[in-house]
Amino acid sequence: MNSVNTPIERGRVSRPKVCFWLDAAGVVLFLTGIVYFAFMYNTFPEEVPVHFSMNGEVNEYGNKAAIWLLTAIAFVLWVFMSLLERVPHIHNYPRKIHSGNIHAQYRNSILLLNTTKNYMLVMFIGLNASFVVNINGSEPPHLLIMSLIAGIFAVMLPFLIRAFRLS
């Protein structure tokens, strides 16, 4: 019987070079958002909208420090997913891992996690930006918010399809 952690499933696969550039782009956009929020922070009222109904109406307010919550969540998720990216042998795969597909499946899984984690940084900054727009009196851009959230599935889909096709 073949156990889950056989030596073949623990094979080493180098991290694709594109991951470095995706990380760099994600971090730069994330830091740009943080700098923007830091400059805008003093212009926020003490109570800011923190939750919206489906039709865009504010249904909960909080302290202006709440604007940093999404940023903190994004950072923690990015760090956790960066660590998880380094251990592809513990990821779940839709096909059985064997010597013929180990490198392709591991590289695909690493790229999936890397792309997803960097997209999430951008998504959380975009969501925070939509809150800032609302704080300053404009309507939150509903289409942008829905696109950012739906985008995570669009980012993951090609990798999931590829994982099923790798045999």
Q: Which domain holds residue 51?
A: 16-165
In 5-136, which ranges are continuous DSSP H helix? 18-40, 67-85, 102-135
In a domain, 5, yes or no: no
At residue 87, the 3 state secondary structure works out as coil
In a domain, 40, yes or no: yes
Residue 28 has pLDDT above 60, yes or no: yes
Residue 3 has pLDDT above 50, yes or no: no
Q: Are strands 47-52 and 58-63 parallel, antiparallel or unpaired?
A: antiparallel
In a domain, 7, yes or no: no
In a domain, 11, yes or no: no
In a domain, 26, yes or no: yes
Measure the CA–CA gap between 107 and 113, rounded to whole angstroms. 10
Residues 34-67: tens digit of each pLDDT: 998 899 888 888 888 777 777 767 788 888 888 8
pTM exceeds cut of 0.85 = no
In a domain, 3, yes or no: no
How far is CA 58 from its chain centroid? 25
Residues 117-146: tens digit of each pLDDT: 999 998 888 888 877 777 766 666 677 778
Cβ neighbours around 78 below 10 Å, total: 19
Cβ neighbours around 103 below 10 Å, total: 15
pLDDT at 50: 77
Please tell me the total count of domains within the chain.
1
For the chain, the average pLDDT equals 84
pLDDT at 7: 46
